[in-house]
Each structure stands twice: as C-alpha cells, then as structure tokens.
C-alpha cells in the first residue's frame, strides 16, 4: 500500500504528492495520504472529482491532521 505523508506541507504540495503517488499504483489500488493543511479536505474532494479518482475515506485524527484514502480509477 502506498502512503504519503504531507504533514507540515502546504498548498499545492499535498495534492501534487497525491497526484504523483496515484500515478504509481495500478487502477483499483489505493493510496493513503496524511496531511494537515486546512485546505486539504476541499482540495482533495475537488481533485477527486476532477481526476475521476475515488475518495474512499477522509477522517480527521485526534492529533488534528487528516487521513484520506483514495482509490485510483
């Protein structure tokens, strides 16, 4: 499973790193990304909608960062 840690990184890095990671996995596989940029949830949703990849889950951790799982389609 591919995991991206984009904590401490601000726009547009979380999305850029996610886009790069999704390219490396096969269709149907997932990428897990962790980020703490406040713009990450709306950016992630917009990115998924635009690129057609599937947002499997988006959770906010107790520590304050976001954990998201995206499936390549």
Partner 1 sequence: MLAIEKDTHQPAPDDLAPIRRVLDEHRAALEGLASRVDRLAQTAAEDRLSLVVFSGDLDRQLAAFVMATGAAASGMHVSMFFTFWGTTALRRRARVKKDLWGRMFGSLLPRGASQLPLSQLNLGGIGPAMMRHLMRRKGVCSLEELIATAAELDVNINVCTMSMDLMGLERDELIEYPNLGYCGAASFVDIAARSRTTLFV
Q: Which residues are marked as active site?
A: 11
Q: Looking at beta carbons only, is 18 or 31 nearer to partner 1?
A: 18
Q: Is the previous residue joined to 18 through a cis bond, with omega within 30 degrees of 0?
A: no
Which DSSP symbol is given to 52? -
Interactions with partner 1, residue window 10-49 (CB under 8 A)? 10-13, 15-16, 18-20, 43, 46-47
| Residue selected from 2, 25, 32, 51 as contacting partner 1 according to rule CB under 8 A | 51
Measure the CA–CA gap between 60 and 44, rounded to whole angstroms. Answer: 13
Q: What is the closest distance, in whole angstroms, from the C-beta atom of residue 51 to partner 1 in the complex?
A: 5
């Amino acid at each position: 499973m591919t995991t991206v840690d984009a904590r401490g990184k601000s726009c547009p890095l979380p999305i850029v790193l996610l886009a790069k990671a999704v390219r490396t996995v096969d269709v149907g596989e997932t990428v897990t990304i962790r980020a703490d940029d406040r713009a990450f949830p709306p950016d992630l949703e917009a990115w998924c909608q635009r690129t057609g990849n599937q947002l499997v889950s988006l959770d906010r951790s107790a520590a304050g960062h976001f954990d998201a799982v995206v499936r390549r389609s």
